[in-house]
């Protein structure tokens, strides 16, 4: 697993120039003929008017704002972990309304199908009986939770908060790279980036007709409340965090604050006669809905990992008893498993009878012998990922690796082929970024956030993650990635005059 980390952290010089991979990548601002795309015109004009020094000054103001607000994440190192500002880029990424309409309908369709899939596999398992998805692929996945079998989940909404990673294919069309259905993070950066870009480009922002994302916290609260039982009319919602040392702690506190609900840790909760309570200054108080930002494994030492001190003993039994709601439901990870991912277009067709609006990236399953040999023969062209890992760990980016790294990784894959998938190296699209006072293109992806309770809502905005090192394709914040604000433009008809 060390291999990929080493690969990702090599200096610019050792990277193979990106031109070797594919022709010039799709650029968000500039078309192939060099013309600025119409939806970027106003920003391009503004950038031309501002000098490099002015931009650098604005970048400093922005960083100061982030530092003062404490918008930081924790980087885990071998010996120590440190608190850092998430690198944020000044220049917004802009998405026109017609492209967004497609993303919105595509994501809605996808989450609806994935929740139906979860309800099915934790229920009658019809899709497995019909042989659409291999039975062992689902039942042997480490993220499959036997304990969830035959449990009632309101609205069949297993995944209440979803953050899907989209990338542009070479032709410019968006495709889904990954679904995050466990505890997706990053939404606070989406909101903080928006605050920052409003301060930085007030004029351009005002004129652009950017759709508002301010309602995310109250929509999240409404989604969570919609999961409550009817006989609990005024449900007590809490956000469960692993604590202040978690890398996403800032986000947990941020969401709790904006929803106006308590931010609790495992040690604040107790289970008594199958009910969940929190310890307040005036005694115990009943908890109805837990928006947990703790992984499945750690929520209840009695049901899952015994060595977890982050969770609450007896929580899962209270959940099974219908006395508390856990959002997202335990076991949703099986639907964003990297191997199950390959079957999502089939899953959509199976439940909804529709073609997927947003396509998948072509995926090779190393569990299939024929596909494995293809993968091993083409390691230098593919990205190989461990099925269970996330955050850019445990992966090999073929074109950016050395022969020695590939040889070592091939052995790892051969030892446990079912644990690996491979995808072609997609040359992510680029967007203009401010690098050392100069505007330069960097690779980006797109993570929109989708809420699902009694209805599905896609927030018209997203986290655009940026690979800040030139040529790098790794956008994860744990691997030197940054982020930038994402402007989703309103339809011209809806725009203010």
Partner 1 sequence: MMLARVADSLYWIGRYVERAEHMCRLSDVMLNATLDRTEAATQVARIALAAVGDPDSERVSAPYEAATALVLDREDPGSIVSSLARARENARQVRDQITTETWERLNFVFLRMTSPEAHKAFAGGSSVFLHETIADLHLFRGAADATMSHGEGWRFLLLGMYLERAQLGARLLEVCFGDTHRPALSDHFALTSVLRMGCALEPYLRAYTADIQPRLILRFLLLDEDFPRSLRFSTAQIEEHLSSLTKYLAVSADVSPERLAGRLRARMQYADMHEIEAQGAGAFLATIGDECAAIHHALHEAFVAYPLELRLPA
Site string for partner 1, 20-59 (x = CB under 8 A): ----------------------------------------
Part in contact with partner 1 (CB under 8 A); list of ranges 67-75, 293-301, 423-431, 454-462: 67-75
Given the complex with partner 1, which of 69 and 108 has the nearer CB atom?
A: 69
**358: nearest Cα among 208, 140, 166:** 166
In the complex, least distance from residue 471 CB atom to partner 1, rounded to whole angstroms: 32
In the complex, least distance from residue 273 CB atom to partner 1, rounded to whole angstroms: 9
Residue 489: Cβ-neighbour burial (10 angstroms; 0-12, 13-18, 19+)? buried
In the complex, least distance from residue 68 CB atom to partner 1, rounded to whole angstroms: 5
**253: nearest Cα among 71, 457, 28, 483:** 71
Residues in the chain: 497
Enter the tokens of residue 284: 């115990």
Given the complex with partner 1, which of 71 and 116 has the nearer CB atom?
A: 71
Q: CB atoms < 10 A from the CB of 254, how many?
A: 22
**256 is a contact residue toward partner 1 (CB under 8 A):** yes
**231 is a contact residue toward partner 1 (CB under 8 A):** no
In the complex, least distance from residue 255 CB atom to partner 1, rounded to whole angstroms: 8
**288 is a contact residue toward partner 1 (CB under 8 A):** no
In the complex, least distance from residue 332 CB atom to partner 1, rounded to whole angstroms: 25
Integer Cα distance of 440 and 198 in angstroms: 22
**80 is a contact residue toward partner 1 (CB under 8 A):** no
**232 is a contact residue toward partner 1 (CB under 8 A):** no
Which of residues 80, 234, 281, 403 is near partner 1 by CB under 8 A? 281
Which of residues 199, 206, 267, 381 is near partner 1 by CB under 8 A? 267
Which of residues 32, 67, 139, 492 is near partner 1 by CB under 8 A? 67
Given the complex with partner 1, which of 191 and 334 has the nearer CB atom?
A: 191
Given the complex with partner 1, which of 154 and 243 has the nearer CB atom?
A: 243
In the complex, least distance from residue 421 CB atom to partner 1, rounded to whole angstroms: 38
Q: Binders of partner 1: how many residues, by CB under 8 A?
A: 32
**253 is a contact residue toward partner 1 (CB under 8 A):** yes
**254 is a contact residue toward partner 1 (CB under 8 A):** yes
**193: nearest Cα among 337, 62, 12, 325:** 62
In the complex, least distance from residue 296 CB atom to partner 1, rounded to whole angstroms: 24
Taking CA atoms, 113 is separated from 119, 167, 222, 270, 345, in Å, by 10, 20, 22, 35, 9
Given the complex with partner 1, which of 285 and 455 has the nearer CB atom?
A: 285
Given the complex with partner 1, which of 196 and 256 has the nearer CB atom?
A: 256
Residues 205-224 contacting partner 1, CB under 8 A:
none
**349 is a contact residue toward partner 1 (CB under 8 A):** no
**75 is a contact residue toward partner 1 (CB under 8 A):** no
Residue for token pair 């490099």: 52
Which of residues 23, 34, 131, 283 is near partner 1 by CB under 8 A? 283
Integer Cα distance of 92 and 94 in angstroms: 6
Pairing label, strands 283-286, 275-280 = antiparallel
**61 is a contact residue toward partner 1 (CB under 8 A):** no
Enter the tokens of residue 242: 């692993």
Task: Check: CB of residue 432 under 8 Å from CB of residue 43.
Answer: no
Given the complex with partner 1, which of 254 and 487 has the nearer CB atom?
A: 254
Given the complex with partner 1, which of 263 and 466 has the nearer CB atom?
A: 263
Given the complex with partner 1, which of 258 and 490 has the nearer CB atom?
A: 258
Which of residues 91, 157, 181, 278 is near partner 1 by CB under 8 A? 278
Task: Check: CB of residue 437 under 8 Å from CB of residue 457.
Answer: no
Q: Which residues contact 438 (CB under 8 A, 6 or more apart)?
A: 52
In the complex, least distance from residue 74 CB atom to partner 1, rounded to whole angstroms: 11
| CA 479 to chain CA centroid, nearest Å | 15
Given the complex with partner 1, which of 69 and 371 has the nearer CB atom?
A: 69
Residue for token pair 């992806």: 445
Site string for partner 1, 305-334 (x = CB under 8 A): ------------------------------
Given the complex with partner 1, which of 243 and 345 has the nearer CB atom?
A: 243
**249 is a contact residue toward partner 1 (CB under 8 A):** yes
**174 is a contact residue toward partner 1 (CB under 8 A):** no
How far from each other are the two terminal CA atoms of the chain, in whole angstroms?
A: 54
| Footprint on this chain of partner 1 (rule: CB under 8 A) | 67-70, 239, 243-244, 249-250, 253-254, 256-257, 262-265, 267-268, 270, 272, 275, 277-286
């Amino acid at each position: 697993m060390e291999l990929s980390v080493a690969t990702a952290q090599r200096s610019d010089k050792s990277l193979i120039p990106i031109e070797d991979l594919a022709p010039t990548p799709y650029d968000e601002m500039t078309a192939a003929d060099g013309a600025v795309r119409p939806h970027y015109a106003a920003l391009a004009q503004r950038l031309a008017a501002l000098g490099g020094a002015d931009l650098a000054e604005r970048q400093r103001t922005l960083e100061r704002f982030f530092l003062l607000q404490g918008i930081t994440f924790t980087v885990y190192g071998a010996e120590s972990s440190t608190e850092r500002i998430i690198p944020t880029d000044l220049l917004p990424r802009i998405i026109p309304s017609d492209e967004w309409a497609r993303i919105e309908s595509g994501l809605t369709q996808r989450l609806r199908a994935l929740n139906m899939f979860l309800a099915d596999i934790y229920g009658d398992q019809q899709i497995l009986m019909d042989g659409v998805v291999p039975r062992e692929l689902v039942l042997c996945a480490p993220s499959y939770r036997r304990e969830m079998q035959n449990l009632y989940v309101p609205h069949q909404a297993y995944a209440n908060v979803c953050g899907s990673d989209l990338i542009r294919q070479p032709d410019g069309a968006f495709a889904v790279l990954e679904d995050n259905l466990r505890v997706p993070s990053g939404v606070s950066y989406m909101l903080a980036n928006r605050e920052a870009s409003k301060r930085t480009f007030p004029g351009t922002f005002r004129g652009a007709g950017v759709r508002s994302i301010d309602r995310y916290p109250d929509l999240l609260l409404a989604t969570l409340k919609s999961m409550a039982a009817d006989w609990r009319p005024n449900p007590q919602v809490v956000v469960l965090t692993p604590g202040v040392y978690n890398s996403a702690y800032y986000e947990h506190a941020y969401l709790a604050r904006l929803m106006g609900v308590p931010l609790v840790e495992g040690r604040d909760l107790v289970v008594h006669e199958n009910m969940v309570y929190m310890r307040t200054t005036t005694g115990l108080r009943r908890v109805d809905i837990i928006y947990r930002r703790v992984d499945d494994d750690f929520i209840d030492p009695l049901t899952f990992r015994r060595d977890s001190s982050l969770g609450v003993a007896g929580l899962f039994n209270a959940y099974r008893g219908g006395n508390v709601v856990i959002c997202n439901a335990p076991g949703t990870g099986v639907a964003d498993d990297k191997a199950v991912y390959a079957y999502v277009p089939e899953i959509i067709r199976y439940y909804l009878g529709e073609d997927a609006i947003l396509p998948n990236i072509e995926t090779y399953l190393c569990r299939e012998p024929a596909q494995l040999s293809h993968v091993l023969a083409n390691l230098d062209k593919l990205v190989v990922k461990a099925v269970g890992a996330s955050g850019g760990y445990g992966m090999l980016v073929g074109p950016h690796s050395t022969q020695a790294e590939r040889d070592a990784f091939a052995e790892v894959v051969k030892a446990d082929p079912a644990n690996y998938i491979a995808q072609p190296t997609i040359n992510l699209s680029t967007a203009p970024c401010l690098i050392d006072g100069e505007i330069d293109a960097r690779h980006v992806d797109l993570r929109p956030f989708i809420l699902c309770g009694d209805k599905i809502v896609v927030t018209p905005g997203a986290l655009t993650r940026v690979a800040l090192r030139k040529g790098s394709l790794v956008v994860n914040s744990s691997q030197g990635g940054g982020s930038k604000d994402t402007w989703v433009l309103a339809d011209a008809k809806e725009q203010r005059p």
